[in-house]
Amino acid sequence: MSSNDDSIQNDLPPPWEILDLVSHHMDPQTLAIASCVSKSWSRCFSANHLWDPFCTTAFPSLSSLTAAVVPRHRLYALAHAEALHRKRKPRKPCISLHGLVFALSVRLPTGEVNVIMPCSDMRWDPHGLFRFDVRVDEEREWGLEELKEAKVTWVVAEREWKAVFTVAEDSGAGKLASVVDGVFSKELPLPGCCVSTSAVSGGHVADIRVGLKEQDNKRMNKIEKISVGIMSVFNWRHVSVDDALIYLEHFLHG
C-alpha cells in the first residue's frame, strides 16, 4: 500500500462499533462534545440507549417518559438546564429600603392625615416581607361614617425625591373591614411599556390598612397606625422585600 493510501486510511473515521464501545465510558458532557464532531458521531453519541441511564439517574421523573417524542439527549439537556436555572441565586434589586421614602395620606370628608417618613424609620415585618407599620401621631377623633368615606394615597419615592411612583391613589370609598381595621387595596400595573396605557395587572396588589383605636365613645375612633405592603394575587400573601423592590425599580428607574 502506498503512502497516499496510508494517509487516506488514517483520515477515515473510526468504525461505528468502536464509537459505540467507547461511548459507554463517557459522561454526559463528553458525549455532548463528541456528538458535535460530525453527523455520524452525532447519530452515534445521541442514541437514546446511551442517554437513558443518565436521565434515570439524574432526573428520575423523566424515566417514565419512555414514549416521549423528544430524544433522550435533548430531554437530558432541557432538564439539566432547568436544574442549573433553579440553582441560580435570584438577582438583587438595584434599590434598597434605606433609600426609599413613603408618603401616606388618608383623606376624609372633614380632614386628612398625612405621613412622610423614610422607610428605614418604619416598623419592618420580622419575616422579611414587604409590609410596614407606621404609628400616627393624630389626636383627632373620627366618626365611623367618615372613615367609611376615606380615600388613601401611597407614594414611594427615592431619597431626595429623585424618582416617584404612586402605588395607590384615590382607590375609591374605603372598605371598613371591622371596627379596628380599615382595609384598602389597589391592583398594581404590569411593569413595562404598557403601564401608562393599560390597567393590565402585574400580579400584585397594594395592601393598605388603617389601624383604628376605639374610644370610650364607640361612635368615634382615632387613627392609630397605617400599614402598607404589596401582596401577590396568586396566593394573597405579602411578597418578599427583594421581589417588591425589583417590582418598584421598574417604575422608579424606568
What DSSP string runs through the chain?
A: --HHHHHHHHHSPPPHHHHHHHHTT--HHHHHHHTTS-HHHHHHHT-HHHHHHHHHHH-GGGTT-TT-SS-HHHHHHHHHHHHHHHHSPPPPPSS-GGGEEEEEEEEETTEEEEEEEEGGGSEEPTTSBSEEEEE-----EEEHHHHHT-EEEEEEEEGGGS-EEEEEE--SS-EEEETTEEEEEEEEEPSSTTTTT---EEEEEEEEEEEEEE-SSTTEEEEEEEEEEEEETTT-SBPBHHHHHHHHHHHH--
How much is the pLDDT for 146? Answer: 79
> Mean pLDDT, to the nearest integer, of 97-118?
90
Q: Is residue 249 predicted with pLDDT exceeding 50?
A: yes
Q: Which of 87, 105, 140 is the last residue of a domain?
A: 87
Domain shared by 80 and 103, yes or no:
no
Question: What is the pTM (predicted TM-score) of this model?
Answer: 0.59
pLDDT level of residue 72 (50, 70, 90 thresholds)? confident
Domain shared by 234 and 124, yes or no:
yes
Domain shared by 154 and 83, yes or no:
no
Domain shared by 102 and 36, yes or no:
no
> Mean pLDDT, to the nearest integer, of 10-19?
61
Domain shared by 64 and 119, yes or no:
no
**245 located within any domain:** yes
Nearest to 164 by CA among 97, 253, 76: 253
**203 located within any domain:** yes
Number of domains in the chain: 2
pLDDT level of residue 192 (50, 70, 90 thresholds)? low
Q: Which of 59, 87, 115 is the last residue of a domain?
A: 87
Domain shared by 117 and 33, yes or no:
no
For 11, the domain range is: 3-87
Residue that has been written with the C-alpha cell 486510511 in this structure: 9
Q: What is the mean pLDDT of the chain?
A: 78
